[in-house]
Amino acid sequence: MKKRLLIITTGGTLASSKGEEGLAPELNSTEIFSSMEGIMNYYDVEFMDLMAIDSSNMQPEEWKLIARTVYEKREDYHGMVIIHGTDTMAYTAAALSFMLPNITIPVVLTGSQLSILNPIADAVENCRCAVNMAGSGVPGIFVAFNRKVILGTRASKVRTISFDAFESINYPYIGVVNSNGLDINRYALKRTHRRFELKDKLSTKVFLLKLVPGTNPDIFEHLYQMGYEGVVVEAFGIGGMHFKKRNLPEAIKNVIEKGMTVVVGSQCLYEGSNLSVYQAGQKILKQGALPCNDMTTEAAVTKLMWVLGQTSDKKEIESLFLKNLAGEITVPKRKKNEYH
């Protein structure tokens, strides 16, 4: 019996056609997959046109709609593919990973750098990879792109025009397409026996701040006054920030004492942060900031949104953020009271 798959379209470049104002997502699922009959013959495929938007307009409200749709349809299919624009795909993949914990089927996001109408596009190849991953029976949230499958919480768009647009950050690929077909690395998969549930509450009051030399510490108080509940700070190198002339750790301490959650990672894509190494990092930890370790920016932002959607209790926020929930973080061994 053929496996049943659901393909959900949300728009993006793959589903775009050229109009007077440039590319816009206008193609429906029938138009998108008319050229893919070969791979579709292996599966019993159904389609759902959920939305048709540029992924720049994909926001937490749309994440909730996608998550709710996956949750409601999960028992009817063996796997799902979500067609999505590339610009915010990594954010959506990470958000869904937290909103749909312990999902029991494969849910695979894919898109393309060129419209599927373009004869040299990467769209068909990406869809083939995604459909095969969706039919693999391997549960989880994934991104399929350029013959690679990436864990949803480890994907990041690192190139703007190349077909090789996405990378797996600080984590091995879940699968690659080679002469063996779709070669899945089962050692890289997170194993869990916990119950699958929908947890789609999010806080949209999270800000991402990338430091530059001379950043004014007053920015943290301004963000607090604007109603932000959490800030993800991309610090220098392994996690440093200036504390002479402009004392950023002191400013962070002040807003944390008022109830804001501040997490600190690195501007560097690879190898992650370690705030315990240098004096600057240790100052941040003493002020109550939480470390991102080797999380991607996309995972750190969406995880903080999700955590703040679950609880307002400071201890629970710390516990959830520092825990590996969906393969997003390599949790270091920590000494007692290391972070505070």
The reported pLDDT for the residue numbered 18 is: 63
Helix (H, G, I), strand (E, B) or coil at 126: helix
List, as residue ranges, the binding site for substrate: 55, 86-87
pLDDT of 123: 79
Q: Which residues pair with 209 in a beta bridge?
A: 233
Distance, in Å, from the CA atom of 260 to the CA atom of 252, rounded to the nearest integer, reads: 9
Rounded Cα distance between 313 and 247, Å, is: 27
What's residue 27's pLDDT? 66
CATH code for the domain defined by 206-322: 3.40.50.40
pLDDT tens digits, one per residue of 50-81: 998 988 999 999 999 999 999 999 999 999 99
Beta pairing partners, 184: 175
Q: Are strands 140-145 and 106-110 parallel, antiparallel or unpaired?
A: parallel
Binding residues: 55, 86-87
DSSP secondary structure string, 51-105? EEE-GGG--HHHHHHHHHHHHHHGGG-SEEEEE--STTHHHHHHHHHHHSTT-SS
Residue 191: other Cβ atoms inside 10 A: 6
pTM: 0.91
Q: What share of the chain is helix, strand, coil (3-state, %, to 5)?
A: 30, 25, 45
Average pLDDT over residues 133-152: 96
Domain 4-188 and domain 206-322, same fold? Reply is yes
For the chain, the domains span 4-188, 206-322
- β-pair partners for 106: 140
- Residues taking part in catalysis: 13, 86
Number of neighbouring beta carbons within 10 Å of residue 330: 12
Determine the topology of domain 4-188 in CATH.
Answer: Rossmann fold (3.40.50)
